[in-house]
Structure 1
Amino acid sequence: MHEPVLILGSRLIDGRPGRTLERRLTAALPHISDHVVVSGHMGEAEAMRDWLISHGVPSDVITVENQARSTNENLEHAFSVLKGYPRWIVVTSDFHAWRTKMWAWHHGISIDLVTARTPVSKAPKMWIREAFALPHSLGRILWRKLRG
């Protein structure tokens, strides 16, 4: 059994994957075999599915998860689809790697992380945003652990 692939969503531009999301999708292509889950809200998952199909991925191996609004929810919602797999490949951007690993650890999900390089023009903004998001997520995880 091959490892399933989970691709985390990102911003759309005019209903199509923006550069950050397109880089994630491109990074995922060599790893897709039997099962891929595209996860994101507000049309992200559907746009990702359409992009993958247009790049040769058969539609019957793609699961659309269109309810997740955060990294945590991406993993929580994908778990219900992928719970029979002992390990997943998760594809995201380089700036987002630590937060993705933290949430996977929190949920007890074994992952291999594939990262796509952030477009240079977007990198400063995304790394600064992540500098605030990372401690926020860590606080949420610690709070959940303390509450049991």
Structure 2
Amino acid sequence: MNPILVLGSKVVDGTVTDLLASRLDRAVEVASKSIGAPVVVSGFGEANVMADYLRERGVAGIVEEPWATSTNENLENAHALFPETTQWTVVTSDFHAWRTYLWARHLGIPITVVTAPTPSAERLGMAIRECFALPHSTLRVLWRKLRTPKS
């Protein structure tokens, strides 16, 4: 059974935001169809809040990864928890899918992305943010490739 990775997003005063709730609600749907799959919640300052939200909705097998501060760290840290995994199901927001694929491909982590809708009040802001975040991540991936010695 493929592990499910839910990527974190900002929490405010220990409370799930609408954006994060959308991801977590999609994770509940995915977990209900993948009985027995571990569900990794990932994000610094977010993982415990995410885990509580999922537990309150009947999701079992939750593993908290509380150290990641970026998309690549979410993927790297989760994969380190289950290194034998050959395919991950990653739950994130629709606007974030391309960046998630970019990092997973660079890291050699096979994923299937399941997207959650971005709340309408946040769509414009997240689209603008992603206009900067995706090129930034692309440059970081290229930089890593240039720095990595060829064998």
Would you call these one fold, judging by a TM-score over 0.5? yes
TM-fit CA distance, 1:87: 0.1
Do 2:26 and 2:91's aligned partners in 1 also have CA atoms closer than 8 Å?
Answer: yes
SS at match of 2:111: strand
Normalized against structure 2, the TM-score is what? 0.93
Q: Which residue of 2 aligns with 1:18?
A: 17
TM-score, structure 1 as length reference: 0.94
After TM superposition, list the pairs within 5 Å mapping 1:10-89 onto structure 2.
10-32=9-31, 33=35, 34-42=37-45, 44-58=46-60, 61-89=61-89
Q: Does 1:101 align with 2:104?
A: no
Matched with 1:141 is: 141
Task: Give how far 1:29 is off.
Answer: 1.2
Counterpart of 1:83, as a letter, is P
- What is the one-letter code of the residue matched to 1:114? V
| 1:122 aligned partner | 122
In structure 2, what is the Cα distance between the partners aligned to 1:51 and 1:104? Answer: 26
What is the Cα deviation at residue 117 of structure 1?
Answer: 0.7
TM-fit CA distance, 1:28: 1.0
Listed one character per residue, the Cα deviations across residues 44-100 of structure 1 (whole Å, up to 9, x for unaligned) are: 100000000000012xx1110000000011011111112111000000001101000
SS of the equivalent of 1:68 reads coil
Tell me which amino acid in the other structure corresponds to 2:4. V
**C-alpha distance in 2 between matches for 1:25 and 1:107:** 24
Aligned residues, how many? 144
**4+ runs deviating over 3 angstroms:** none
CA contact (8 A) 2:79 2:85 kept: no
RMSD over aligned CA atoms reads: 0.8
Q: Which runs of 5+ in 1 are unaligned?
A: none
Query: What SS is found at the alignment partner of 2:49?
Result: helix
Instruction: String of CA shifts for 1:87-135, please: whole Å, max 9, x gaps.
Output: 0000000110100000000110111100111011111001100000000
